[in-house]
Amino acid sequence: MSELLSGRRILVVEDEMLILMMVEGILEDLGCRSVTSAATVKKAVSLIESEFFDAATLDMNLGGDDSSSVADALLKSGVPFIFCTGNDRPEMREGFRDHIVLNKPFRDADLTTALTQLLT
């Protein structure tokens, strides 16, 4: 359990079920109060507009769709986030270059470290 993550509400935007299940498990083990997931751009933006999140993880590609509009919605809502991607060299749009990028596959400790850095 992570003291910093205990009780937090985290949005996981991921379209690959195995990765989603892994991330949800890690976050639950870290003591997060709520882990909400979205597999599409439309669902993610809708959740961001209607719910409160302390932080988010964001896949850069959701079923072939670029997730930049999700990143924009997170920025607008003031929700800190990290990118998770399977791309070897992710192309980062201006305004997102300072965000943490976790390359898939990543270890539990990598996600924990990234979220801890994000929330401190």
**Beta pairing partners, 11:** 36, 56
Other C-beta atoms within 10 Å of 45: how many?
A: 20
1 half-sphere exposure, CB direction, 13 A CA radius: 7
Ranges of each domain in the chain? 9-119
17, two tokens: 């079920």
pTM: 0.92
What band does 85 get if pLDDT is binned at 50, 70 and 90? confident
For the chain, what is the mean pLDDT? 90
CA dist 16 and 40 (Å) reads 11
Quick check: 89 pLDDT over 80?
no
For the chain, give the percent of residues with pLDDT over 90.
67
Tell me the mean pLDDT in the region 55-75. 92
**What was the pLDDT predicted at 1?**
62
**What was the pLDDT predicted at 90?**
59
Distances (CA, A) of 120 to 19, 45, 78, 86: 25, 25, 15, 26
Tell me the mean pLDDT in the region 93-113. 86
What band does 88 get if pLDDT is binned at 50, 70 and 90? low
Are residues 58 and 81 in contact, defined by beta-carbon separation less than 8 angstroms? yes
Tell me the mean pLDDT in the region 76-88. 89
CATH number of 9-119: 3.40.50.2300
